[in-house]
Structure formats: structure tokens, C-alpha cells
Chains A and B, each alone.
Chain A
Amino acid sequence: MSQAMIRVRNLTKRYQRGGETLTVLDNLNLEMEEGRFYALMGPSGSGKTTLLNLIGGLDSPDSGELLVAGEDLAQLEGSDLAAWRGANVGFVFQGFNLIPVLTARENVELPLKLTPLSRSQRRAQAETALKLVGLGDRMDHRPRQLSGGQEQRVAIARAIATDPKVILADEPTGDLDRKSAEQVLDLLGRLNREFKKTILMVTHDPHAAERAQSIVHLDKGQLGRIEHNQPAGAH
């Protein structure tokens, strides 16, 4: 049995909306193994994205324990949390979230600026990541000059550029056509199989979820069932 990459204990997150307190995650307990590909599913408002943001250190829980890559995130804040995020987590968002004024190569190079790599090493690493996602010939294109699928692949290249332990993907195929979505899912599966990345992917799409080894269902901020399957397209 692999060790836990993500350990969630009694995790609670609440938001204030118009004077009303919404409990988005309610005493959630969950464990995710290192090197597995997880899909996180559930109806809108079930707390999927909130959980993803908490695991990625983008947001802080109100109570509970959250250990990711061996670090208790409740003990980190400010620049320490930011530095941990930069070193351990790669994000892939539904809307790609590339910086529009930078080229594909510069976008991928951006998180590498937080590492001690030299400029030429950063450049080489960014190019390697872009070639890995099949965009070696689009390095100097800006996001607006790329298709949605290509933009998402640049985002994946950026997510893996620093060689993080965990990749968090929030609806990565939500804005893509079927063919591009398949390419992105193939890539995530490959990163999991070949590079042993722990991947947590939020999705509404059952077809996309089939690519994961485990499907975690959330409902009203609480853990539902967990399915384990043989991922489709695994080869």
C-alpha cells in the first residue's frame, strides 16, 4: 500500500454569504495515496472546488487537519504557504488561466522563476515541458493565438514544469471540445502513469472520470462513495 499524499481529517470550511453561513465542507475525512489518479465528482455546490483549493493551499480551512505532501497546511501561511504551493502543487484550471501577455514558453517558465535555476536552465525546462505536451512548435505563441485545447496543454506544461508532487485539475476539460478533452485526459493519464504524479481532478463529466483510478463522490460537503476502477484509455 502506498503512503497517503493527501490526508484530510474533520475538515470544515464555511463561507459567509449575505449574512448567512454556508457550510461547504462539513467534517470531511479523506485519504489519497501517492501516485494515484483521483476524480472528484458531485453536484454543483457539493464542495469539490473548495476542497481542491484547500488541498492546493489557495484557501484555508476553518477547522480540521489537512496534510498534503507531508506538510500540515494549517501551519503555513503567507509567503511560506505560497512557496510550498510553488514547489509541491501544479494547477490546471477550467479557464486555463494563462497570462495573456506572455508567450507559451514564458507562461511555462513563470513558476520556474521561484526555483534556483538559471535563465538558460529555466528556458530548457520550459521547452521540455512544452514538447512533452506536444507544443514544441507553439512555444512563441501567445494564448490568444492558440486553440482552447492547446491553451490547456500549455497550462499542463506549466503545472508540471516545477516537477510538483501533486497536480490539481479543476474541470480541465470543461471548456474543451471532445477531441481536445481526450488529448488533455490522455496527458493527465500519462503524467500519472509515467511520472507517478498524484492527480486530483474535479469533473462533472463521467467520461472524464473514467480515466481516473478512483472516483471520489462529494455531496453537500460530505464524503459519498469512493469507486475504484481500471482507468479507461490506460495503456
Chain B
Amino acid sequence: MFKLVLRNLSSHPIRSGITAVSVGVALFLVCVLTSIVTTLQSGLAAASSTRLVVMSSISLFVDIPLSYQEKIARVDGIANVVKWQWFGGYYKSQDNFFGQFAVDPERMFEVYPEVKVDEETKRKFLTQRNACIVGWQLAAEFPEWQQTGKIPITGALFPHPSGQAWDFELAGVYRSEAANFDNRTMFFRWDLFEETLKGAGQDPGVGVYVMSVEPGADIESMRAQIEGMFENGPATVRCDTESEFTRQFVSMLGDIPMFLGWIGAGVLVAILLGAINAMLMAGREQTHDIGILKALGFDDTTAFGVLITQSLVLCLTGGALGIALAMSLEQPIALAIGSAFPGFFIQSSTYIGAGVASLVVGLAAGAIPAWNALRANCVEALRAKGA
């Protein structure tokens, strides 16, 4: 009977092909949309609750004074403090968007032990004033950096006093296995940033301070203490755990996860309707064949099986196509949307979910024609016009 199923499908190659490809494209989209949501969520899940982040109480986009660093570092339980400043530049063209941050190089590795670099890279970054490190995904996107070792960045927020681009030397590539720290960012030294701007009469502020805490420290009382320290200062601050900070950052994206979920559900419903339509047509055309099968002695369940198997073969083929497409395009997609959704990857559970979805679509699409075939009266089915 499986031969009959395959022959029925191949007898309408355009319809079968379009239906299978539609299911494939839809499941590919569902894989990508689902993965964007899970990427956002995994960043949240991986964010540390034992690291603290201090930012302006007004907004993430308002700087806080440089002088706060020493005061924060003196709080009991603080192990280390690293400052971050969003640079907002671009490489060659504004289309080449990725994050650049000025940081304290040594402290950065102490506060973020999950960021791995080789010894030579670390040595260069710690000793060379205009050195920078980039994530491996970013390095893969711009292979010329590793050939020339030069990365000229035009400062949009902080133009170089010379009017030229900021010239950075690539110290090496970092790799983070943690989902909360993306691999598509560039870090350069705070001292270069500060001294260059001060030379032009500017006084740069700090975007956020990130602190690692000593084991057993009372996080809640430290948060209260830090916020209280600056209540009457030039800039009031709020202090959150990194996980809370990340959650708030993600919430700035509004209802994107829910919106993406609705799009995914809509895509699935649309393709289900398309598959149902294709299978209804196939069922109607094969009514006569079902009559023949029944006349020859095949029972109702065989008739049901022919149609439901046909639908399953069609949709599972489409599902396999979609999963294969998602697997092969995962890295290019990660590079393409990495700036907006750092750390994008497709989980194996997403592939399993796509497989299950194609199974469900196949069963649902084949249910009506298969039921009609099961119930078909043999004599009436034989009277039906064949394909």
C-alpha cells in the first residue's frame, strides 16, 4: 500500500511538491521564530544572580560618574568592579552594526570568567593601549581583521578628536560558552577611551558598573547600600542582579516574544489549512480508487490508512525539509541577526518540536479525507469520477 501512497503523491508532483515545500518553509520559520524567543529566554536563564549591575536610576542611556567606581569597590562583599561604556561606532559603514564597549581590561576577565581567550590574546589586550578583543562570531563575519590586525571604528557617539576613525589593533578572539554573554561584540580598553576624550576636553561617563561579589555576600543588603550611597550624589543609581538587569533589558523589547509566538502560530495554522486543502483535493480525486480497493476486499481501515499515510508522508517530508533547512542555515542566521539577538541558536528540542508539529499537521490534514474514505460506500465510491 505504501507504493500506492507514493504513486498517488508522485502523480501530482507540482501539488505534492508545493505542499511539502510550504510545510518545510513554514516549519523552518517556526524553528527560527521559536529560537529567537528561546535565545532571549536562555540569556535570561544564564544571567548570573551573583553579579550586580549598577546603572543610572533614570535610564540605561544616562551615564553615571567615573568617580563611583572606587566607592562601589569599597562596599563589603564586592570582589571586583568593571565599568562598561557603550561606544556606538561602526566599521566602514553604518550597516556593519555590532556592539563595542570600552571596559577595564584586567577586571573584565576577573568579573567574567566565562569569557575565554588564549594567553597571547590576554597579554596583548592587557599591555597594548589600542588593543581590542572580538567575539568569534564577529571575527568570522569580518575575516579581514585577522589578516590585517587592524579595526578602524568610526565613533558615532564619540568621534575621535582627529576627525578620523579610532584605530584598534586586534589582540585576538574571545569565546563565551554562556548564553548571557554574546560572541558578537568588541571590547577595547577604557584607558584609551578616557585619555583620548579627555585630551579633547571631554569627560566621559560610565554606562554601567558590573560587580562580582564574594561568596556568601548578602546581595540584598549590598544592593540597598549601593543605591543609598548615591542618593544625594550627582546621579542616583539603581543596583540589580545581572539576571534582573537582563530581564529588564529584554522587557524593553516589549512583547516581542509573544508577538513572535503569535506569528509562529499563525504560520502553522496557515500551512495546516493549505495542507488540508491539498489533502481534500487528493481525497476527492481518489474516491474512485478507494471504491476499487474496497471492491477488491480491502477493508475500511485500509482505505483510511492510504489517505492518512499520504498526508503524513507529505507533511513529514516537508517537516524534514524545514528541519534540514534550519540546520543548514542556523549559522548564517545567527550571523545575520546576531546584533539584535546575540547568541542565537536552535535547540534540539526545537527540532523535535518541529518534527512533532509536522506529524500533527499531517494527521490533522489527512483526518477528513481519511475519515471520508473510511466511511465511503463502495458502490457510490465506484461511481465517483476518478483522477
Contact = CB atoms under 8 A, between A and B. Distances in A.
A97 B297 contact: no
Interface stretch (B2-10, B25-33, B249-257): B2-10
A148 B63 CA distance: 88
Nearest to A114: B297
Interface of B: 1, 3-4, 7-8, 10-11, 288-289, 291-301, 378-379, 382, 386-387
A215 B382 CA distance: 26
Contacts, number: 63
Nearest to A53: B379
A58 B4 contact: no
B386 A56 contact: no
B4, B7, B291, B296, most chain A CB atoms within 10 A: B296
A217 to B, nearest CB: 23
Which 7 residue pairs spanning A and B have beta carbons closest together?
A86-B297, A101-B7, A79-B299, A82-B299, A111-B296, A85-B297, A101-B11
A59 B379 contact: yes
A58 B379 contact: yes
A102 B7 contact: yes
A19 interface: no
Contacts of B291: 97
Nearest to B303: A82
A158 B295 CA distance: 12
Secondary structure at the B interface, as helix, strand, loop or mixed, is: helix
A45 interface: no
Contact of B3 (A53, A79, A106): A106
Nearest to A107: B292
A78 B297 CA distance: 10
B378 A111 contact: no
A116 to B, nearest CB: 14
9 contacts: A53-B379, A58-B378, A82-B298, A82-B299, A82-B300, A91-B296, A100-B11, A106-B3, A113-B1
A91 B291 CA distance: 12
A79 B8 CA distance: 24
Contacts of B298: 82, 86, 114
Contact of A101 (B4, B293, B299): B4
Secondary structure at the A interface, as helix, strand, loop or mixed, is: helix
A86 B296 contact: yes
A59 B294 CA distance: 11
A144 to B, nearest CB: 11
Contacts of A59: 378-379
A100 B10 CA distance: 12
Contacts of A78: 299-300
Nearest to A170: B382
Contacts of A85: 295-297
Given A58-B382, A78-B300, A79-B301, 13 more contacts: A53-B379, A83-B299, A91-B295, A91-B296, A100-B11, A100-B289, A101-B8, A110-B296, A111-B296, A111-B297, A113-B1, A114-B296, A114-B297
Contacts of A110: 293, 296
B4 A82 contact: no
Contacts of A86: 296-298
A84 B296 CA distance: 10
A8 interface: no
A74 interface: no
A56 B289 CA distance: 18
A146 interface: no
A99 interface: yes
Contact of B4 (A84, A93, A98, A102): A102
Contact of A99 (B4, B10, B299, B382): B4
Contacts of A111: 296-297
Given A53-B379, A59-B379, A93-B382, A82 B7 contact: no
A87 interface: yes
